[in-house]
Amino acid sequence: MSQRKRVAIVGIGLIGGSLAIQLHEKKLSSKLIGVDDNEEHARQAVELELVDETMPLNDAIEQSDVIVLAIPVDKLVSLLPSIMDKIDQQIVVDLGSTKSQLVDVIKSHPKRRRYVATHPMWGTEYSGPQSAVRGAYENKAVIICNAEDSDADALDWVKNMYKKIGMHLLEMEAKAHDLHAAYVSHISHITSFALANTVLEKEKEENAIFELASAGFESTVRLAKSNPAMWVPIFMQNKENVLDVLKEHIAQLSRFKESIEKEDNEYLMKLIENANKIRRIIK
Amino acid sequence: MSQRKRVAIVGIGLIGGSLAIQLHEKKLSSKLIGVDDNEEHARQAVELELVDETMPLNDAIEQSDVIVLAIPVDKLVSLLPSIMDKIDQQIVVDLGSTKSQLVDVIKSHPKRRRYVATHPMWGTEYSGPQSAVRGAYENKAVIICNAEDSDADALDWVKNMYKKIGMHLLEMEAKAHDLHAAYVSHISHITSFALANTVLEKEKEENAIFELASAGFESTVRLAKSNPAMWVPIFMQNKENVLDVLKEHIAQLSRFKESIEKEDNEYLMKLIENANKIRRIIK
């Protein structure tokens, strides 16, 4: 059975572009169509041979079997219903980092079952088609949300696609996904952005401060380069969960502050020993 | 001119062990002596051929030309004066992450000029001789503090050592060093420890939370595996600077919290765009 389909990728940047490379390499696509509002990105996507050609969204919907949405989550929420209005039997799949609002907005749509809600847990701090990389997604997790609301054939093709590009599949309700994503992805970005701002603030008085930036600093601040157009809507859509984890994180930081203020070595030791338990998770 | 000397390394773990490998490879040492309170570590250091032999501190001082101190900063402060009491014309160099207390404690010592205060900006989240790695320190910065208080020959040998192992040298007063280190190293560790505690706290109710941990999470939480015996004394010795940066960091996080609470997209966008300026620093 050939799994090859004509695939339209809406949003041909880091996420969509990297997927395009894998779809071609794993022989999942017979044709790759790019759709992008950003004309420069569209041009680059063809030039970099990420897609065969680019065209307006409506033409792409007509000429494809699968429509992959790799755009910021605010645009997803506004665009998904209108795409669903236009499809016949095409499969629609999104790669967004938040899922609750999206499955809510499409819940009662007559074509709901042609849609598969997913979140492949891969990304870098870069954006645009030129940052697309080969071998992305390999050995990473992908979450399929509310799988019971999708048609079996759509779900099968999407699951097979993710398996072929080397991902391991997890299924989860959209609400659970958003909670977990706040803890293991969204908060990391906020701490990184805030850390960058902390140090950049100090740099105004201390020019030399970055001369001695170490690998540890680079590792914690790397995500601060991430694209605001992608992250602002994620934080806003996942507001409640993100605020919960952010409050907890500030409370945890305050414990470090207190223990240092009071020179309570024993308490500080306990806080760090507890943090060391992360070894169980991150090898 | 042969630069080879008999070198004693006090504390033969991650930092001391990795230096030992480089001293040998770059033909800087004619003999490598290990000193470690931890008998298991001492045994491993010989077994792993990091050092030629191990012996008690007093014997090592007698039998070496250079004494390298690679022990936690609280032990440095208590041990350095007594080592200086025992040396003749040996060079003493420390690799500790804080410098002010250390140069203060030794300021009026009659042998002060035989001592060179340094901080090579390299480390990993692991500890012990088994975590020593080859090629460590290469292309990293090393800070030499209060260089004017050291004898020229001692300073020359130490500088040459760091150059030979591939480091670029910076000179700084100890106070400036501690301020900068708080911003570009110490705070990264605190945010990482606190982030680990935040997520581990949540994991108590949500078992599956780590199934979807992404590369971004790993990168920001990696340092949380770091050794408390090393880090508690660093934070305590650098208390004032660490508290300043920690307060600023909590204030920066609170801005993210506020902007999300108020759904102020524009403010959140500005915060992230500002954080993106870190691109200038971290390529």
> Tell me, what's the pLDDT at B212?
67
Confidence (pLDDT) at A57 = 98
**Mean pLDDT, range A5-29, rounded to an integer:** 97
Nearest to B236 among A195, A218, A260 (CB): A260
Higher pLDDT, B219 or B92: B92
Is a pLDDT exceeding 80 seen at residue A3? no
pLDDT beyond 80 at A283: no
Instruction: Report the share of chain B in percent with pLDDT over 90.
Output: 87
Q: Which of B206, B242, B250 minimises the CB distance to A180?
A: B206
Check A200 against B232: CB less than 8 A apart.
no
SS3 B143: strand
In chain B, list all ranges with CATH 1.10.3660.10: 177-280
pTM of the shown model: 0.89
* Portion 163-192 of B in contact with A at CB < 8 A: 170, 172, 176, 179-181, 183-185, 187-192
Q: What is the CA radius of gyration of chain B?
A: 21
pLDDT given at position A206: 77
Q: Is there a contact between A214 and B246 if contact means CB atoms under 8 Å apart?
A: no
Asked if A272 has any chain B CB less than 8 Å from its own CB, the reply is: yes
Rg (CA), chain A: 21
Q: Spell out which residues of chain A touch residue B121, defining contact as CB-CB under 8 Å.
A: 212-214
Q: How far separated are the first and last CA of chain A, in Å rounded?
A: 39
Q: Which residues of B touch A213 (CB under 8 A)?
A: 121, 184, 281-282
Indicate the SS3 state at residue A6. strand
Chain B residues in contact with A247 by the CB 8 A cut-off are 257
Chain A residues inside the 8 Å CB shell of B217: 184-185, 188, 282
Residues of chain B with pLDDT > 70, as a percent, come to 98
What is the tens place of the pLDDT at every residue in A244-254?
A: 999 999 999 99
CB atoms within 10 A of CB A149: 16
Phi then psi for residue B171, to 5 deg, are: -115, 145
> ipTM of the predicted structure?
0.90
Does A209 score more than 80 pLDDT?
A: no
Tell me the CATH number of domain A5-172, given options 3.40.50.1100, 3.10.20.310, 3.90.79.10, 3.40.50.720.
Answer: 3.40.50.720
Can you give the pLDDT at residue B281?
81
Residue ranges of chain B that CATH labels 3.40.50.720: 5-172
Quickly list DSSP for B50-118: SSSEE--HHHHHHT-SEEEE-S-HHHHHHHHHHHHHH-SS-EEEE--S--HHHHHHHTT-TTGGGEEEE
Q: How far apart are CA B121 and CA A10, in angstroms?
A: 44
Q: How far from chain centre, in Å, is Cα A37?
A: 19
- CA A219 vs CA A198, B256, B278: distances in Å: 16, 21, 12
Q: Do A215 and B257 touch (CB under 8 A)?
A: no
The Cα B189–Cα A216 span in angstroms is: 8
pLDDT in tens, A148-192: 999 999 999 999 999 999 999 999 999 999 999 999 899 999 999
B6 three-class SS: strand
The residue-averaged pLDDT of B26-49 equals 97
Class of domain A177-280: mainly alpha
For the stretch B180-217, pLDDT in tens is 999 989 999 999 999 999 999 887 777 777 776 667 78
What does the alpha-carbon distance between residue A25 and residue A132 come to, in Å, rounded to a whole number?
A: 14
Rounded-to-integer distance, Cα A183 and Cα A248, Å:
10
Search chain B and give the residue with CA nearest A142. B212
Neighbours of B233 (CB within 10 A): 23
CA angle A65, A68, A20 (to 5 degrees): 95
Task: Please check whether residue A162 touches B, CB under 8 A.
Answer: no
Q: Can you list the positions of beta strands (E) in B102-188?
A: 115-120, 141-145, 168-172
Token pair for residue B140?
A: 């990293």
Mean pLDDT of B216-223: 86
Q: Name the band, by pLDDT with cuts 50, 70 and 90, for residue B2.
A: low
Distance, in Å, from the CA atom of A64 to the CA atom of A166, rounded to the nearest integer, reads: 24
Asked if residue A31 lies in contact with residue A52, where contact means CB atoms within 8 angstroms, the answer is yes
Interval B156-173 mean pLDDT: 96
Cα of B34 vs its chain's centroid, Å:
19
pLDDT greater than 60 at residue A197: yes
Decide if A257 and B246 are in contact by the 8 Å CB cutoff.
yes
Confidence of residue A202 (pLDDT cuts 50, 70, 90): confident
Give the integer Cα–Cα distance in Å for B170 and A98: 45
Contact of B107 with chain A, judged by CB distance below 8 Å, is answered with: no
Identity at A148, one-letter amino acid code: E
Per-residue confidence (pLDDT) for residue B75, from 0 to 100: 96
Contact in structure between B256 and A224 (CB atoms under 8 Å): no
- pLDDT band at A212, cuts 50/70/90? low
Is residue A277 pLDDT above 90, yes or no? yes
Candidates B123, B184, B275; nearest CB to A193: B275
Q: Which residue has the tokens 């020179």?
A: A263
Band of the pLDDT at A2, cuts 50, 70, 90?
A: low
Given an 8 Å threshold on Cβ–Cβ distance, is A243 in contact with B257?
Answer: yes
Q: A208 or B151: whose pLDDT is higher?
A: B151
Decide: B188 and A221 in contact? Cβ < 8 Å: yes
Q: What is the pLDDT of residues A87-146, one digit of tens each?
A: 999 999 999 999 999 999 999 999 999 999 999 999 888 999 999 999 999 999 999 999
Each residue's pLDDT tens digit, B228-275? 999 999 999 999 999 999 999 999 999 999 999 999 999 999 999 999
Residue labelled with tokens 């099968």: A156
Task: Tell me the pLDDT band of B3, cut-offs 50, 70 and 90.
Answer: confident
Task: Say if residue B43's pLDDT is above 60.
Answer: yes
Minimum-distance CB partner of A209 among B184, B211, B282: B184
